[in-house]
Amino acid sequence: MVSFPDAKVCSAHWLLKLESPVPVSHVRFCTFQVDRVHVAVFIDCVRDEGFHYCIRNGYGKHVSSRPAVVNIGAIFMFNSTIGRVAKIAIEEAVKDVNSNSSVLHGTKLNLRMQNSNCSGFLGMVEALKFMETDTVAIIGPQCSTVAHIISHLANELKIPLLSFAVTDPTLSSLQFPFFVRTTQSDTYQMAAVAETVEYFGWKAVIAVYVDNEYGRNGVSALNDKLAENRCKISYKVGIPPLSGVTRGDIMNILVKVALMESRVIVLHVGPELGFLVFSVAHYLGMMGNGYVWIATDWLAYYLDTNSPLPYETMDTMQGVILLRQHTPDSDKKRAFLSRWKQLTGRSLGMNSYGLYAYDSVWMLAHAIDAFFNQGGVITFSNDSRLRSKKDSNLHLDAMSIFNDGMLLLNNILQSNLVGLTGPLKFTPDRSLVHPAYEIINVIGTGIRRIGYWSNYSGLSLVPPETLYTRPPNRSSANQKLHSVIWPGDTSSKPRGWVFPNNGKLLKIGVPVRASFREFVSRVRGTDTFQGFCIDVFTAAANLLPYAVPYKFVPFGDGHENPSYTELVNSITTGVFDGVVGDIAITPNRTRIVDFTQPYAASGLVVVAPFKKLNTGAWAFMRPFSGLMWIVIASFFLVVGIVVWILEHRINDEFRGPPKRQLITILWFSFSTMFFAHRENTVSTLGRLVLIIWLFVVLIINSSYTASLTSILTVQQLYSHIKGIESLRNGDEPIGYQVGSFAEYYLSHELNISKSRLVALGSPEAYAKALKDGPKKGGVAAVVDERPYVELFLASQCSFRIVGQEFTKSGWGFAFPQDSTLAVDLSTAILALAENGDLQRIHDKWLMQSSCTLENAELESDQLHLQSFWGLFLICGIACVIALFIYFLQITYQLRTAEPPDDSSIESGSVRSRRLQRFLSKMDEKEDPSKSKSKRAKVELEGSSQE
């Protein structure tokens, strides 16, 4: 007898009446033996008039820890493609388990199959039938609709469901803990589809699906995975799963699809609907050039099961890409496939779901074996909540709960073995490890594998199992697929989209400017626009390999420049399909829309008034600052004194009277400026100091020469504003263009108070505000984008750009995010730049006559006397003084000489002779000996006086 806690052995009576001294409060149930089968009677005890009444409320059966037979069930759709294969595979798996005594050690699996016909109601009814036979687990179901319903039943009765075919990703372990998916979830299949779409560079797809749990939930997973890769489902359409869907219904659906923009179609249906869709699409010409068809694994398992298909069927799906669950190659798999051919006589092929069905049986068998090893007992009990229903004709008492169902479930989830499909092991979220798919291309009468996808490393050309030993690498450079033959029998990758052929024009918003109309302006009295930006867009659109139906829609009243931020935001709200104009590409805008390649360089600059700085008479002093001049002069004196000290004792040229030595010091130091010093240095230290000083003098002379040349030959302009930093640190008003992003940048990025910002609406307003200046209600400077400023300065010569351009951006055309038109227009703009058309359009609209000041600046290349008259004045004064002193010396010498006898000479002749004597004295050569003796005499007289 099997021992039960707190059990009492009693007779098999349904009503027990015990006297009060009997401690029946401890009785939970009684057991008795009938034909070696132990029956447990569950009782409830109540006290009434001194007696305890114990009434049966249920009963259960249990067998020995290793019974001879364990009942399992299987529920799926027998006449489906998957069902026909799964039926044989499950039966063979049960035979293999029962013939292998090392698995269940003598216990046999008793299999019972039920046909659900993919009906939720019939599936529930058939599942309830398993309860009558004390089934411990169910292989299946196959359909999502059935799985959602009977998973609730499995939760209540604690019967594990091992589904080999339900891929619906919404069947989660949190909601349905007894649902165990023994195949791959559509979450991974849709991830493979999304990464394939991204690999080929498409941004939007159309989803055609069967409108049931399988289709809707699969497409929902596809949408999530596409969003992770910045792609989207642009249009989706469901096909009713009813058998009454006609060819005309499919044609109506595909006609709507053909009117859409995207040409990438993901088909997530069943085989019957799928082949009907391909047939209609082929009839409508939707299997030709430009289209991309991606079929989920429904097509793969059908082809694997029923190949070869008729030529007419294969011809309707040429170029289709399809996915197939990848199962690694192994000796065990090859042996089973060889055995399969013998079993079916090659009339039925094996698909991946058949392999998973076979492995599910083996997984369950190993889990049951572990269950028994852990002391598990197969016992069932009634649900206490059904007591009140015991008189019902529904026989609800047959719905018994598997008492140790949780233990069996845990053993299933802890499986760790290798089957036909590879490792049979679950991740913490109850998914099979290493999900992988093969990507296949339909060509001719067969198929060709073009690569693999795995959750480990993405797309690859080699089987995923060879990558599991390496570190995961999902870089874009590592994602590879073989070439594809696309619909229309072409190897050129389809663009994946076209403009929808529904007569709808793209609404292109265009700003109606009130100023700088050369960039974009509306032709009065018409709905047409002209300008630099319009011509660039038109030229780029003409280079596209397809027609772009569009119409320009004005934005703004024409009296004031509109807000470009509002214009761009209108794309996100669906008002416009794009925006064309002088739209600056800024970080805030790129977060909500996509821009084309910039067609014009832009950036914020500062414009300020200036004044011409004249050279003047003392221009030669300007190369150096006052402090610099003082330092240079000081160093000349210092170097002269240092050299004199070093040379005084050993060099005769630096000796003599103090007056002479002072003159020598001054002459030597300043003559080095022109490298014209006559005194030789003989000491080593003196020479070292002189060499260093001469090098310094060389640099000073070169710098002075270059600076003075620049000052005298280049027009000098002056403004007290040096750039954006001087504006930012000051408190003067700053002008900006109405509608420009300059206001946002100045106030939010540079934190300049809005009270300092002045809105200006036209070039004339610019000029007036700059001329008036802050003192007269104007502005100190204007901050605007460079293209506007260059056009403004072409006619305003009193202003200049000061400082550097402090933002780097450009102008582009704006479109919704992930717009393929933005990508193609970018390529066209680059082509315009390469062939020179972009520059020609620029010259047409923006090349204007330059200011006359430019010619005046060219004339300043010549040197004029006015720039040097100060130097000449100094030189002239020095000459006059020198001559004056010299004349005084000559006059003194003539007076000290003996005067001639002039008494007999007339007065006129006297003046003539004096002039002759003066000129002859100037021409007379002085005797050096006399000058020496004269100097000696002077010295002697000086000494005698002492």
Lowest mean pLDDT among 508-517, 547-556, 872-881: 872-881
Higher per-residue pLDDT: 625 or 108: 108
Residue 676 pLDDT: 67
Beta strand segments in 178-320, E? 179-181, 204-210, 232-239, 264-268, 292-295
Higher per-residue pLDDT: 854 or 522: 522
Cβ-in-10-Å burial (0-12, 13-18, 19+) of 877 comes to exposed
Structure confidence by residue, pLDDT tens digits, 680-733:
777 777 777 778 878 888 887 888 888 777 777 665 566 778 788 888 888 899
Higher per-residue pLDDT: 610 or 783: 783
Q: List Cβ neighbours of 353 (8 Å cut-off, separation of 6 or more).
A: 82, 85, 86, 164, 165, 183, 301, 325
Instruction: Kindly state the average pLDDT of the residues 782-801.
Output: 88
Lowest mean pLDDT among 421-430, 524-533, 590-599, 921-930: 921-930
Please tell me what DSSP assigns to residue 12: S
Task: Give the confidence band of 26 by pLDDT, cuts at 50, 70, 90.
Answer: very low
The alpha carbon of 632 is separated from its chain's Cα centroid by a whole number of angstroms, namely 58
Cβ-in-10-Å burial (0-12, 13-18, 19+) of 172 comes to middle
- The answer for 674, left when phi > 0, alpha when psi is -120 to 50, beta otherwise, is alpha
Task: Give the confidence band of 923 by pLDDT, cuts at 50, 70, 90.
Answer: low
Instruction: Decide: 123 and 116 in contact? Cβ < 8 Å.
Output: yes
Work out the number of other CB atoms within 10 angstroms of the CB of residue 526: 8
Instruction: Kindly state the average pLDDT of the residues 441-454.
Output: 95
Residue 117 pLDDT: 85
Task: Give the confidence band of 545 by pLDDT, cuts at 50, 70, 90.
Answer: confident
End-to-end CA distance of the chain: 156
Task: Give the confidence band of 850 by pLDDT, cuts at 50, 70, 90.
Answer: low
Instruction: Kindly state the average pLDDT of the residues 494-507.
Output: 82
Task: Give the confidence band of 938 by pLDDT, cuts at 50, 70, 90.
Answer: very low
Q: Are strands 604-609 and 799-802 parallel, antiparallel or unpaired?
A: antiparallel
Considering the chain, what is the average pLDDT of its residues? 82
Instruction: Kindly state the average pLDDT of the residues 842-855.
Output: 67
What amino acid is encoded at 523 in this protein? V
Residue 46 pLDDT: 45
Residue 49 pLDDT: 42
Residue 185 pLDDT: 95
Work out the number of other CB atoms within 10 angstroms of the CB of residue 633: 12
Where b means 16+ CB within 10 Å and e means fewer, 250-281 reads bbebbeebbebbbbbbbbbbbbbbbbbbbbbb
Structure confidence by residue, pLDDT tens digits, 122-139:
888 888 888 778 899 999
Residue 208 pLDDT: 97
DSSP string of 375-422, one letter each residue: T---BEEE-GGGGGGTTSTT-GGG-EEETTHHHHHHHHHT-EEEETTE
Q: Which contiguous run of DSSP H or E holds residue 48? A: strand 37-48
Residue 926 pLDDT: 56
Q: Of 515, 542, 520, which Cα lies nearest the Cα of 530? A: 520
Instruction: Decide: 205 and 261 in contact? Cβ < 8 Å.
Output: no
Structure confidence by residue, pLDDT tens digits, 155-203:
989 999 999 999 999 998 888 999 999 999 999 999 999 999 999 989 8
Instruction: Kindly state the average pLDDT of the residues 563-576.
Output: 93
How far CA 876 is from CA of 866, 868, 872, 884, 907, in Å, comes to 15, 12, 6, 12, 36
Q: Is 877 helix (H, G, I), strand (E, B) or coil?
A: helix
Residues present in the chain in total: 946
Residue 67 pLDDT: 92
Residue 278 pLDDT: 97
Look-up: residue for tokens 């066209």? 828
Cα–Cα dist 716/726, whole Å: 20
Q: Is 432 helix (H, G, I), strand (E, B) or coil?
A: strand
Structure confidence by residue, pLDDT tens digits, 724-749:
888 888 889 999 998 888 888 999 88
Lowest mean pLDDT among 23-27, 124-128, 604-608: 23-27
Instruction: Kindly state the average pLDDT of the residues 398-406.
Output: 86
Residue 930 pLDDT: 52
Structure confidence by residue, pLDDT tens digits, 233-250:
999 999 998 777 899 999
Residue 358 pLDDT: 97
Instruction: Kindly state the average pLDDT of the residues 326-336.
Output: 95
φ, ψ (nearest 5 deg) of residue 75:
-135, 125
Checking if the pLDDT of 18 tops 90, the result is no
Work out the number of other CB atoms within 10 angstroms of the CB of residue 596: 29
Instruction: Kindly state the average pLDDT of the residues 397-419.
Output: 90
Q: Of 372, 355, 487, which Cα lies nearest the Cα of 424? A: 355
Cα–Cα dist 322/299, whole Å: 7
Q: Of 707, 752, 713, which Cα lies nearest the Cα of 733? A: 752
Checking if the pLDDT of 404 tops 50, the result is yes
Residue 388 pLDDT: 55
